[in-house]
Amino acid sequence: MATLPERPDIDWLRRQARDLQRGVRAGDPAALRRSSVPVADNAFRLGDAQRVIAREHGFASWPRLQSHVRAIAGRTWIPSPPPQDQSPAHRFVRAVCETWTGTAPDLDIARAVLATHPEIADDVAAATVLGDVGRVCEHCRSERPDAPCGPFGWSPLMYAAYSRWPVSEADALGVVEELLRAGADPDDGRHFTGHASPFTVLTGLFGGGEHDESPHPCRDVLARRLLRAGAEPTDAQVLYDRMFSDDDHHLRLLFGFGLGSGDGGPWRRRLPDLVPRPDVLLRQQVTWAVLHGMRNRVTLLAEHGVDVVAPLPDGPGPVRADGTAITLAIRSGHPEIAADLRARGAGEPQVDDVDILLGAILAGDGQAARTADQSVLVEARRRHPGFTAWAANRGVAAVVAAVTAGFDVDGLGRSDAPIDQPWQTALHTAVERDDVELVAWLLEHGADTTVRDARFGATPLAWAGHLGRPRCADVLRAAEAVDR
């Protein structure tokens, strides 16, 4: 699959191509390596440089890259602070919408605005949010149902989906019915900050994501209506946002409308090189579910025809995988999932002694860590220097086993997947999980409270403040006071 940077800009890419062309003509070693040109070449054209740039991003040609960037640019939404002269209607709508920025809707502000400015219902975005079917119907008689409106420039249907204002199912459904009857697109969406995966109407209804945005209060009835109207059930952003929770309700609902089948809908047709096929999206869900021990989800996916035996898809997705689901299950310390996969015909996993040891540690098997061959321990620590940070995602028993095996208690790794990127320490992960018991254990066993993570440059105590983990913060402050 191709990839693009956040907020892709065709002019910036053109400048990159011009710089590359000049570099090749001047004989710059880095430019020559990028272009696979042995020596300085004055005949190296701008089109040649553009082709290199396109292929670096996974596109077959510069025109194909351009078409994808323009498709995204035409539907990008970038959050911005409200203007000082914002109208009461816009202030109300901003206050009630989930925007995937980590700032939750503030219904108290919205109620105060509505109480002092009841006339805001004349604004179509506000009327949509309030469930005012009559005003929405009147709007659709004079305006296109998809015309941009409100504080974000969205269509009314987008506001209906992203709002968290409490309305009755009858009123919420009445507004959606009226918009659909007038020709609103059930697959409408925006590219959040230029992200390739579209945030659709369905995305807004289901909520979730890295900040755990709330679902719409009438999620199911509205989702079913949109799906009956033709909304694409294999919604990449819905699948991503809901994968963090072990609640499989969204999958059951979407499977009822063809999740995983078809060609991927209009968004994949617009962006065929960036939006994965439906089958690939679901197999990426297998990867995440196996890694995180979501046994019921693996079973549900398999029961709906998702291939859980073949090698997992590589490339962009929730995490990169290597090998088959059963191999991943053993490496991740989930023997019960491995047993389920064997029962479904999976071959024996391709694992070595290091993989088996790491899986045992993640399963909290301290005995395996104590009795492992020394050469295996050395190789495990060499391969995965930040392993304790990943083990912390599994709780105290896994961290005890990891430290027993000699892994660095302050090693930098990832918490969401066993990938050797130096993101954070086990102490950061414990705070992230709000695991006070693990924070205390790590401090008792020498964890350094002053280590800063590699992404945000913050200490575990700073994480506790930012993430709202007061109990963890108290334990960390007490430890720092003793150290002083």
In angstroms, the Cα distances linking 112 to 117, 188, 391, 463 are 9, 30, 47, 33
pLDDT at 442: 97
What's the chain's average pLDDT? 94
pLDDT at 97: 98
Q: What is the pTM of this model?
A: 0.91
pLDDT (tens digit, 9 = 90+) per residue, 200-231? 999 999 999 988 999 999 999 999 999 999 99
102 — pLDDT class (breaks 50, 70, 90)? confident
Q: What are the structural domains of the chain? A: 10-74 (no CATH), 88-270 (1.25.40), 278-343 (1.25.40), 377-483 (1.25.40.20)
Q: Per-residue pLDDT for 484 more than 80?
A: no
pLDDT (tens digit, 9 = 90+) per residue, 1-24? 788 988 899 999 999 999 999 999
Helix (H), strand (E), coil (C) string for 166-233: CCCHHHHHHHHHHHHHCCCCCCCEEEECCCCCCEEHHHHHHCECCCCECCCCCHHHHHHHHHHCCCCC
Mean pLDDT of 128-146: 94
pLDDT at 317: 62
End-to-end CA distance of the chain: 51
pLDDT at 483: 67
The strands making up 189-192's β-sheet, listed across from edge to edge, are 76-77, 189-192, 199-200
Residue bearing tokens 């807004």: 204
Q: Per-residue pLDDT for 188 more than 90?
A: yes
pLDDT (tens digit, 9 = 90+) per residue, 390-420? 999 999 999 999 999 999 999 999 988 877 8
pLDDT at 415: 87
- Kindly provide the b/e burial profile for residues 263-302, where b requires at least 16 CB atoms within 10 angstroms of the residue's own CB: ebbbbbebbbbbbbbbbbbbbbbbbbbbbbbbbebbbbbb
349 — pLDDT class (breaks 50, 70, 90)? confident
Beta carbons within 10 angstroms of residue 3's beta carbon: 14
Distance CA 438, CA 103 (A): 28
- Tell how strand 199-200 and strand 76-77 pair up: unpaired
Please enumerate in sequence order all residues whose Cβ is within 8 A of that of 121, keeping only pairs 6 or more positions apart, or say none. Answer: 127, 130, 132, 135
Tell me the residue type at 348: E
Please enumerate in sequence order all residues whose Cβ is within 8 A of that of 58, keeping only pairs 6 or more positions apart, or say none. Answer: 1, 2, 3, 273
Residue bearing tokens 């005890």: 400
Mean pLDDT of 251-275: 96
pLDDT (tens digit, 9 = 90+) per residue, 419-428? 788 999 999 9
Distance CA 87, CA 110 (A): 13
Helix (H, G, I), strand (E, B) or coil at 408: coil
Please enumerate in sequence order all residues whose Cβ is within 8 A of that of 299, keeping only pairs 6 or more positions apart, or say none. Answer: 340
Residue bearing tokens 């025109």: 63
Distance CA 146, CA 180 (A): 10
Q: Per-residue pLDDT for 350 more than 90?
A: no
- Helix axis angle, 460-467 relative to 470-483, nearest 10°? 150
- Kindly provide the b/e burial profile for residues 327-345, where b requires at least 16 CB atoms within 10 angstroms of the residue's own CB: bbbbbbbbeebbebbeeee
323 — pLDDT class (breaks 50, 70, 90)? confident
